[in-house]
Structure 1
């Protein structure tokens, strides 16, 4: 782990992934570690509100996924490299136990589950509206086709027009367009859009799958399917919430889940 610097945005630091890529993160609070994995076009900065709420009881790490913010990006892209990024963070912040809880939003949730299935030593995993299903797949296919033709601006327009992804606080268009290429990364993480039941069956962690009661009905169908595919999964719907979930509504649900999981741990772990 590279030098950590404390700023008004928390303690900032860098870790190096297996391929040497520098992954930048922000850390808030003290206590058991929790890593936040952002969704499409998300950065560590977009997780600050949720991180601040969880930091009352946990040490919360929000990071720039590769190709975003202050993190590097090593070609060619591969989902396995993003999994290795998360593994490097777990290793850096996991302390003596060598593990950390993980929460992922949308495509970040799909990445968190893929990492857990690949054997990354995560603790409890929570995800908010992982974007599997044919509806989300059709949207990503349109965006990916534009990116493949080098039409980054048009791809961003197509993505934003759907209004279906939580991308954090409002940011200038140039900032979003600079991240548009990472929409292809998220497409790779989710794959063909089908709920990967076989992969999810290899997740041994406790998993909470959350959706919003005001989101489209297909998101709840997907969330229930993901929870059912995970051996230790459960499902929760937040009344009145959409894909742009309010941090102050989500935070106590996540904290309650994490507290419950900690209470169930054997003594001395």
Structure 2
């Protein structure tokens, strides 16, 4: 692991696996670089260099207020530059939204692989006050409540699933990521619909979607592929339940990024 400084001085923790052309992995909600380890290994097995990083307010990375998607775009720019430039990016869930936003902001990325990005296109958006409510819980020292609130209103998990997670050992690992839920809530609220710049990125775009995923995500992937000029939609049967299959996803990337 190494740390690089983003544009505002925030330290970002970065890991590299394998050799070859770089693919920067951008995780979704409640994820750190560690969660992408299997995917990184699969990319390396396909002759690529996987670059994983902790998005700000997660894992070994720092955080600097205010919460702003442009700062996360700067983080990705710094990671891609440190990887040597000319990198592809593989973003999953909110990480896919961030990757496309960064490209629209002018971050140099040579290919965009967007896995099940949760674009609402202005339909069924969460409460616009959700980011402020999450931040208030974090500031009041109630991170566990922020995690549950984001699961309920930001992700839309059913109450029984939330309760199962709350009672499981994994919940303790989610609580330290409470501040990151504010970033994801702001990102998906402000970018419910891709901006004009996001709809016309300079890099090729491949949209990935599992066959057995949430209907909302399938619809979003299909609509995004129609919206972004020249985008390709690829179904990944092995990816189930909004979890990208490492081997299958790496294969899709390697076939298009040599």
TM-score range, shorter chain: 0.7 to 0.9
Aligned to 2:251: 252
- Select between 188-197 and 72-81 the one with higher mean Cα deviation: 188-197
Aligned to 1:5: none
SS of the residue corresponding to residue 15 of structure 2 reads strand
Return closer, same or farther for 1:136/1:53 CA change in 2, 3 Å cut-off: farther
Aligned to 2:161: none
Query: Alignment partner for residue 113 of structure 1, among 100, 110, 113?
Result: 100
User: How many residue pairs were aligned?
Assistant: 239
Query: Alignment partner for residue 128 of structure 1, among 115, 124, 127?
Result: 115
Q: Please say if residues 113 and 208 of structure 2, whose CA atoms lie closer than 8 Å, have aligned partners that are also in contact.
A: yes
Return closer, same or farther for 1:145/1:207 CA change in 2, 3 Å cut-off: same
SS of the residue corresponding to residue 97 of structure 2 reads helix
Q: 1:59-70, aligned counterparts within 5 Å?
A: 59-70=49-60
SS of the residue corresponding to residue 127 of structure 1 reads strand
Question: Structure 1, residues 192-237: CA drift from partner, whole Å, max 9, x if none?
Answer: 5632152322311101111111112221221111112222311112
2:221 is the alignment partner of 1:223: yes
Counterpart Cα distance in 2 of 1:83 and 1:192: 14
2:91 is the alignment partner of 1:104: yes
Aligned to 2:62: 72
TM-score of the two chains, using structure 2 as the length reference: 0.84
**Structure 2 unaligned spans of 5+:** 159-167
2:71 is the alignment partner of 1:81: yes
TM-score of the two chains, using structure 1 as the length reference: 0.81
**Structure 1 unaligned spans of 5+:** 1-11, 165-169, 260-269
Q: Please say if residues 116 and 208 of structure 2, whose CA atoms lie closer than 8 Å, have aligned partners that are also in contact.
A: yes
